[in-house]
Amino acid sequence: MKWETVIGLETHAQLSTRSKIFSGAATAFGAVPNTQACAVDIALPGVLPVLNRKAVTKAIRFGLAVGAKINHRSIFARKNYFYPDLPKGYQISQYEIPIVEGGTVTILSDGKDKTVRLTRAHLEEDAGKSLHEDFHGATGIDLNRAGTPLLEIVSEPDMRSAQEAVAYAKVLHALVRWIDICDGNMQEGSFRCDANVSVRPHGTDKLGTRCEIKNLNSFRFLERAIEFEVRRQIEILADGGTIVQETRLYDSDRDETRSMRTKEEAHDYRYFPDPDLLPLEISELWVREIKKEMPELPEQRRRRYAQEYGLSEYDVSVLTENEEIGSYFENVAMASLKDGESLASTDVKTCANWVINDIARKMNEEDLPPWAFRVSSNTAGHIIRRIREGLINAKKGKSLLSRFWEEGRQESERTGRYVHGGYPQKVDELVREEGLGQISDSTALEEICDQVIAANPDQVSDYKGGREKAFNSLVGHVMKATKGKANPQQVNEILKRKLSG
């Protein structure tokens, strides 16, 4: 018998607000345990939750980005269960009416676009953390994370393989970072997935019984856990057994999933509307304001790069992997323009190549965060500009880039901050001072200037007629004739003197 895999993901994205969803305590990661939990977070009697407006804004941004319906009235509910890291005895979540409903995400599967439908996305608070390893024979509780805002994004069971599930998780991960609602840091648990997995005989419609694998915090674990789980379920069914609906854990050391508990039903949680919180009402005006602030989305940017710059599918995909690399590329392209040029009239492809083959590659090699460029886009663009002006050749340009990159790396390591190496004027200084065997011998330069003046009578008369630009182009000719090795200041002086006669 052939089996078909069915997967739906529940993804928890930690919303990047400074304070918690219902209190003013800080959300920063890595603080000393229990220093960022206030009376509300530790559930002292008599305290009341107050909703964080920024968390709501970020949920709305998500809804707009996936083309979902924003519910103008949603309800916070109490999800009751007992666990040591949940001091209230309930989690505030949304149940019957979530803030975001529907929407879609497009993934690439086997080279083709595939639409994954979203069921909903709702706001909720995170729980604390149990620390099992730090104490001998006892468990510690850290409530710093309690009350951290989460957006739980629930997909329809639309994925058909572990690879599709990973593709979906990656698109979602890129999107929440892109629209600046979640830092996406998976090691710190800011983005984690629960995978619901079932199998059914190929060609049938009825969904099989599913198992839910909890808290997968890397794409690799997500893929491995699903693959293991699919094999396990097929084996049981092929032997004539039945799948028990349950919650399972993935053990990455043994590369297997293990039963954690039988699945609870919604009624086990005794959901009811939280009497301490009013219904969340969102005006059309507020949604419109947020819409105005939305950045260009990945899909739109991909289309624009292909249409406006004629970039290949591969180039576009690399340059839209995250928001930062695309903005960097566009800034490089701007900085590479000669006076009077526009992006529409130049060869943007060269800049794309630099960013993809040199800069993105270096970022990957060093495993840098997507915003931590070691050379600024201005500097990189300026180097390309000097190449295009014929002042230096491409090889020299690349070596300058590498040199600045290395300086940035060393300086960053020394200071413990991300620092750029080099700056645009430094490019020009080095081009002049160093390595290029620059000609400062004035007799030689005088001679070349004479030749250029003789060879370009039109520009000479233009300049004499008052067109400053013609002068720049004469300087350009001299620079070209010397392969960029002349001292531009000296050339300026010589030409001015000769032409003023």
Residues engaged in binding ligand ADP (CB under 6 A): 6-10, 154-157, 196-198, 207-208, 210, 212
Question: Which partner, ligand ADP, Mg ion, none, binds residue 210 by CB below 5 to 8 Å per kind?
Answer: ligand ADP
CA separation, residue 142 to residues 39, 139, 190, 206 (Å): 14, 10, 16, 43
For ligand ADP, the closer of residues 6 and 325 by Cβ is 6
Residue nearest to Mg ion (CB): 10
| DSSP assignment letter at 207 | P
Provide the β-strand partners of residue 76.
Answer: 94
State the nearest-atom distance from the C-beta of 484 to ligand ADP, in Å. 60
For ligand ADP, the closer of residues 7 and 290 by Cβ is 7
Cβ proximity of 359 and 328 under 8 Å: yes
**Complete DSSP assignment for 407-466:** HHHHHHHHHTS------HHHHHHHHHHSSS--B--HHHHHHHHHHHHHH-HHHHHHHHTT
**Complete DSSP assignment for 279-339:** -EE--HHHHHHHHHTPPPPHHHHHHHHHHHH---HHHHHHHTSSHHHHHHHHHHHHHTPPT
User: What is the distance between the alpha carbons of residues 134 and 271, in angstroms, rounded to a whole number?
Assistant: 34
State the nearest-atom distance from the C-beta of 165 to Mg ion, in Å. 15
For Mg ion, the closer of residues 10 and 389 by Cβ is 10
Question: Which partner, ligand ADP, Mg ion, none, binds residue 355 by CB below 5 to 8 Å per kind?
Answer: none
State the nearest-atom distance from the C-beta of 157 to ligand ADP, in Å. 4
For ligand ADP, the closer of residues 196 and 320 by Cβ is 196
State the nearest-atom distance from the C-beta of 156 to ligand ADP, in Å. 5
State the nearest-atom distance from the C-beta of 212 to ligand ADP, in Å. 6
Q: Which residues contact 231 (CB under 8 A, 6 or more apart)?
A: none
* CA-based end-to-end distance of the chain: 94
Give the max Cα distance, the chain.
102
Question: Which partner, ligand ADP, Mg ion, none, binds residue 157 by CB below 5 to 8 Å per kind?
Answer: ligand ADP
For ligand ADP, the closer of residues 194 and 323 by Cβ is 194
Which residues are at the interface with Mg ion (CB under 5 A)?
10
State the nearest-atom distance from the C-beta of 10 to Mg ion, in Å. 5
Question: Which partner, Mg ion, ligand ADP, none, binds residue 8 by CB below 5 to 8 Å per kind?
Answer: ligand ADP
For Mg ion, the closer of residues 202 and 267 by Cβ is 267
Question: Which partner, Mg ion, ligand ADP, none, binds residue 198 by CB below 5 to 8 Å per kind?
Answer: ligand ADP
State the nearest-atom distance from the C-beta of 339 to ligand ADP, in Å. 55
- As given in the structure block, the two tokens for residue 417 are 């901050």
Question: Which partner, ligand ADP, Mg ion, none, binds residue 154 by CB below 5 to 8 Å per kind?
Answer: ligand ADP
**Which residue has tokens 């975001």?**
100
Q: What angle do CA 64, 175, 279 make, to 5 degrees?
A: 40
State the nearest-atom distance from the C-beta of 106 to ligand ADP, in Å. 17
For ligand ADP, the closer of residues 6 and 143 by Cβ is 6
For ligand ADP, the closer of residues 54 and 263 by Cβ is 263
For ligand ADP, the closer of residues 247 and 327 by Cβ is 247
CA separation, residue 49 to residues 24, 59, 125, 150, 202 (Å): 10, 18, 11, 16, 49
| DSSP assignment letter at 114 | E
Question: Which partner, Mg ion, ligand ADP, none, binds residue 156 by CB below 5 to 8 Å per kind?
Answer: ligand ADP
For ligand ADP, the closer of residues 154 and 236 by Cβ is 154
Nearest to residue 449, comparing CAs of 402, 501, 383, 376?
501
Question: Which partner, ligand ADP, Mg ion, none, binds residue 9 by CB below 5 to 8 Å per kind?
Answer: ligand ADP
State the nearest-atom distance from the C-beta of 235 to ligand ADP, in Å. 17
Question: Which partner, Mg ion, ligand ADP, none, binds residue 207 by CB below 5 to 8 Å per kind?
Answer: ligand ADP
The per-residue b/e assignment along 382-413, b for 16 or more CB within 10 angstroms, e otherwise, is bbbbbbbeebbeeebbbebbeebbebbbeebe
What is the sign, positive or negative, of the torsion defined by CA atoms of 313, 317, 320, 325? Answer: negative
State the nearest-atom distance from the C-beta of 199 to ligand ADP, in Å. 9
User: What is the distance between the alpha carbons of residues 338 and 316, in angstroms, rounded to a whole number?
Assistant: 24
Question: Which partner, ligand ADP, Mg ion, none, binds residue 5 by CB below 5 to 8 Å per kind?
Answer: none
